[in-house]
Amino acid sequence: MSLRRWLSVALLAALPACGAMAASGTAARAADSVTKDVYNNDAQSVAAQLDGPLQSQVSRGEVGMLSDKMHALGAYKGLTYVAGDPAKNEYTYRANFDKGSLNVVVRVDSDGKLGAYRVFAGS
């Protein structure tokens, strides 16, 4: 295979990966921002980052309960990428705390807002 053809093939193979990395970067920023808002018990900021249909589902009580669970794990230390499905714009991160972790799954809509934000017990 000629160098020119090899570079063309390598570039074509890299383009989808670049798109996935850009999407996962957007997802990581959104997941981190919402996780910080939940940790800080700021239901209004959480709702502002979700798409329209989800905004009305956010309650101060639920955000408060989740915030309490996060605080029980200590100081928030940030996210670690776990897995992603770029075709669905769905990404899983580990939210790290002093005394444990939680799994955070987000789905990013085309407008950059979150269409899903789920938190599960960490491993």
pLDDT of 26:
87
pLDDT of 23:
46
pLDDT of 52:
87
Residues 61-84, buried b or exposed e (16+ Cβ, 10 A)?
A: eebeebbebbeebeebeebeeeeb
Number of domains in the chain: 1
Q: Residue 38 to residues 7, 15, 45, 104: CA-CA distances in angstroms? A: 45, 34, 9, 12
pLDDT of 10:
35
Range of the domain at 102: 3-121
Inform me whether the pLDDT recorded for 3 exceeds 60. Answer: no
Question: Which tokens is 91 given?
Answer: 């990404």
Least confident of 16-20, 96-100, 112-116: 16-20
User: What is the tens place of the pLDDT at every residue in 13-31?
Assistant: 333 444 444 446 889 999 9
pTM over the 0.95 mark: no
* CATH number for 72: 3.10.450.590
